[in-house]
């Protein structure tokens, strides 16, 4: 089935008219639905016209959130090329690798990146477009504002195949290795949108005002889609600054946002120290790590029952499971235990737990999480071997270890590559990190296996303490022993100022692990 997205957007513009569609805080832009439709028409028509992008061509976007809010789905579904999204804060060498992977015909980037990126882009033979007009642009660099000014704002006749056209590609976060380039059809994107509407408690409607601080090139885009279609407002910040986030929530009457648990803990400290009017918040979504029960009660006391946890992935970009607001409780042991889960599976999504050869395991057993749904991507561009390995049998093999209990709650136990085998026992890094997070002195941690001559691997933790906090190594080890048993407790600790994080705030255990294994092969590959 084909769909003309210009007509879809026109209907949204007619319905919501003067309501704000996009607010870019750093750039001071406020664009209503009517103007947003016309602007994205102009951009799409410029890309398919003077820039010469057609079916089968790829164009790469290296942009901040405020510009990605314009150069996202509402634009690239109005033209035939494939938009490739990357994180602007990736290194130059990572961008070089990505360009070698997808061979884009066109690259659109922030002006300040020209100094570092232009030689590479020239060498790759890319057409280069800067997001802003400037008098000193090199002769071979065009400006998007100039192109837009001469482009038509009329609806075009582009109709894309919903289930086969590759509308978007983006690179995985690379938490366990080099990022892979996932391919999305329009229907994959619409499945993501629909999963938010499926969970009515999330409260997406025309009054929704979402504040994006995580990159729109990655997970935060999931919130962009339902907001646009519900007639709500997508508000962008270019980086996470919690003081600025609080200012924006208060001034912009923000109703929804996404933060990782460590950011929520810091937010709690700031709100306690200097309370602000954040009553507009209806839903705070978190992911990447479970919530500490001890800290959750403080969060509930401060902000009320507005917290939900979602589980999804680049390869399954939708709400696969949701731990809802009613499940965020600490008043009984069963409720506390459920906080370690990612919630119940979204209706219509198929999830099962499999053994090493793909056979389904019994309820409660731990194995690899397999997923089948509309949001599963079309594989990895230019990587048929990895595509075959991870998407066999019509399912995505997530690489996550998990279990499903009798009530249908999905527990994410660990990444397969992050499981530590110490003296023949399986130790799950995420379980140890969750126990450490319960200690009031701990802000965040990364648990890895380090080489050990007798056990193969020994459990080791790198720990960032809360500001002003202090704790002895022995106290933390005993703290984990009391909760998980002696064989799961860290055998050594290192207190560090920072941990390496992905663009969405996930701790990059592979980088921590590299410090101890170097170039030697790790036991778990």
pLDDT of residue 176: 44
CA distances from 382 to 98, 142, 174, 217 (A): 11, 29, 16, 20
Cβ of 188: how many Cβ atoms within 10 Å? Answer: 25
Q: What is the pLDDT of residue 311?
A: 92
Buried b (16+ CB within 10 A) or exposed e, 284-311: bbbbbbbbbbebbebbbeebeebbbbbb
Decide if pLDDT at 517 tops 80: no
The string of DSSP codes covering 353-409 is EE-TTSPBPPTT--EEEEEESTTB---BTT-HHHHHHHSGGGSEEEEEEEEE-TT-B
Contact 140, 114 (CB under 8 A): no
pLDDT digits (tens, 9 = 90+) for 248-267: 999 999 999 999 887 898 89
Task: Please report which confidence band the pLDDT of residue 388 belongs to, taking 50, 70 and 90 as the band edges.
Answer: very high
Q: Where are the alpha helices (DSSP H) in 103-185?
A: 114-123, 144-150
Tens of pLDDT, residue by residue over 433-468, are 888 988 999 998 999 988 876 566 889 999 999 888
* pLDDT, average across residues 144-168: 97
Q: Which residue has the higher pLDDT, 24 or 433?
A: 24
| CATH classification for the domain delimited by 33-184, as one of 3.20.20.140, 3.40.50.980, 3.60.15.10, 3.40.50.1100 | 3.40.50.980
Q: Do domains 33-184 and 190-408 have the same CATH topology?
A: yes
Q: What is the pLDDT of residue 525?
A: 30
Number of neighbouring beta carbons within 10 Å of residue 494 = 14
Q: Judge whether residue 419 has pLDDT over 80.
A: no
The 10s digit of each residue's pLDDT in 227-236 is 999 999 999 9
Tell me which residue has tokens 């709500």.
232
What is the band of 485 on the pLDDT scale with cuts at 50, 70, 90?
Answer: confident
Report the pLDDT averaged over residues 421-427: 69
What pLDDT is attached to residue 434?
85
CATH number of 420-517: 3.30.300.30
- Rounded-to-5 percentages of helix, strand, coil across the chain: 35, 25, 40
Using an 8 Å Cβ cutoff, are 170 and 218 in contact?
A: yes
What whole-number distance in Å separates Cα of residue 387 and Cα of residue 379?
A: 5
Residue 476 is predicted with a pLDDT of 92
User: 190-408: CATH homologous superfamily?
Assistant: ANL, N-terminal domain (3.40.50.12780)
Average of per-residue pLDDT across 139-149: 97
- Over range 504-509, report the average pLDDT: 76
Give the Cα separation of 337 and 488 in Å (integer): 18
d(CA 167, CA 335): 41
Residue scoring higher pLDDT (486 or 334): 334
Read off the pLDDT of each residue in 178-200 and give the average, rounded to a whole number: 94
What is the value of pTM for the model shown?
0.83
Average of per-residue pLDDT across 195-203: 97
Q: What is the pLDDT of residue 454?
A: 59
CB 184 within 8 A of CB 378: yes
Contact (Cβ atoms closer than 8 angstroms) between residue 406 and residue 262: no
Quick check: 174 pLDDT over 80? no
Mean pLDDT of 72-80: 96
Burial class (CB in 10 A: 0-12, 13-18, 19+), 254: buried
Nearest of 80, 55, 56 to residue 157 by alpha carbon? 80
Summarize pLDDT for 85-133 with one digit per residue, the tens. Answer: 998 888 888 899 999 999 999 999 999 999 999 999 999 999 999 999 9
| Cβ(224)–Cβ(170) below 8 Å | no
Domain ranges in the chain are: 33-184, 190-408, 420-517
Calpha distance 386→397 (Å, rounded): 11
- In angstroms, rounded to a whole number, what is the distance separating the alpha carbons of residues 273 and 215? 28
DSSP designation for 14? H
The per-residue pLDDT of the chain, averaged, comes to 91
- In three-state secondary structure terms, 29 is strand
Please give the pLDDT value at position 522: 40
Alpha carbons 412 and 401: distance in angstroms, whole number: 6
Higher pLDDT, 325 or 523: 325
Write the CB contacts of 295 (distance below 8 Å, at least 6 apart in sequence).
Answer: 261, 264, 265, 268, 437
User: What pLDDT sits at residue 521?
Assistant: 39
> What phi, psi does 494 have (nearest 5°)?
-135, 125
Residues 6+ apart with CB under 8 A from 61: 68, 71, 83, 84, 85, 86, 107, 108, 109, 217
User: Is residue 229 within 8 Å of 73, Cβ to Cβ?
Assistant: no
DSSP state of 82: E
Pairing between β-strand 344-345 and β-strand 209-212 as defined by DSSP bridges: unpaired
Of the given ranges (165-179, 257-271, 279-293), which has the lowest mean pLDDT?
165-179
């Amino acid at each position: 089935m084909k769909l003309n997205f210009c007509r879809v957007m026109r209907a949204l513009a007619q319905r919501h008219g003067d309501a704000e569609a996009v607010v870019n805080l750093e750039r001071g832009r406020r664009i209503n639905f009517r103007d947003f439709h016309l602007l994205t028409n102009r951009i799409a028509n410029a890309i398919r016209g003077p820039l010469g992008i057609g079916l089968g061509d790829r164009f790469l976007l290296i942009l901040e959130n405020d510009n990605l809010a314009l150069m996202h789905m509402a634009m690239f579904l109005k033209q035939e090329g494939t938009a490739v999204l990357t994180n602007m804060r990736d290194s130059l060498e990572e961008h070089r690798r990505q360009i070698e992977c997808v061979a884009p015909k066109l690259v659109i980037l922030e002006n300040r990146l020209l100094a570092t990126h232009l030689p590479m882009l020239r060498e790759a033979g890319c057409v280069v477009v800067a997001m802003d007009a400037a008098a000193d642009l090199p002769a071979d660099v065009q400006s998007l504002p100039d192109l837009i000014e001469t482009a038509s704002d009329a609806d075009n006749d582009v109709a894309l195949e919903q289930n086969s056209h590759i509308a978007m590609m983006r690179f995985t976060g690379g938490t366990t290795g080099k990022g892979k380039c996932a391919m999305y059809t329009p229907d994959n994107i619409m499945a993501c949108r629909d999963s938010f509407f499926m969970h009515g408690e999330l409260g997406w409607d025309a009054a929704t005002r979402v504040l994006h601080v995580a990159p729109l090139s990655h997970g935060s885009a999931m919130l962009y889609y339902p907001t646009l279609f519900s007639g709500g407002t997508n508000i962008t910040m270019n980086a996470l600054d919690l003081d600025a986030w609080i200012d924006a929530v208060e001034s912009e009457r923000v109703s929804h946002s996404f933060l990782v648990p460590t950011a929520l803990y810091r937010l709690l400290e700031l709100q306690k120290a200097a309370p602000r009017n954040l009553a507009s918040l209806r839903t705070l979504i978190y992911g990447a790590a479970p919530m500490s029960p001890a800290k959750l009660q403080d969060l509930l006391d401060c902000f009320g029952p507005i917290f939900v946890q979602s589980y999804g992935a680049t390869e399954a970009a939708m709400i696969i499971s949701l731990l809802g607001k009613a499940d965020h409780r600490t008043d009984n042991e069963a409720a506390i235990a459920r906080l370690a889960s990612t919630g119940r599976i979204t209706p219509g999504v198929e999830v099962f737990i499999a053994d090493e050869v793909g056979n389904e395991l019994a309820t409660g057993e731990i194995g690899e999480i397999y997923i089948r749904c509309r949001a599963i991507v079309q594989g990895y561009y230019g990587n048929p071997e990895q595509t075959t390995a991870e998407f066999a049998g019509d399912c995505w093999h997530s690489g996550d270890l998990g279990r499903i209990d009798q009530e249908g709650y999905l527990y994410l136990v660990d990444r397969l590559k992050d499981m530590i085998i110490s003296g023949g026992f399986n130790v799950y890094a995420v379980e140890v990190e969750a126990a450490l997070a319960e200690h009031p002195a701990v802000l965040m941690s990364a648990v890895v296996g380090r080489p050990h001559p007798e056990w193969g691997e020994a459990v080791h933790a790198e720990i960032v303490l809360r500001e002003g906090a202090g704790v002895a190594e022995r106290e933390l080890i005993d703290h984990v022993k009391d909760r998980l048993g002696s064989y799961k407790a860290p055998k050594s600790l290192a207190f560090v100022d920072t941990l390496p994080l992905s663009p969405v705030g996930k701790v990059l255990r592979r980088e921590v692990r590299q410090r101890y294994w170097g170039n030697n092969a790790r036991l778990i590959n």
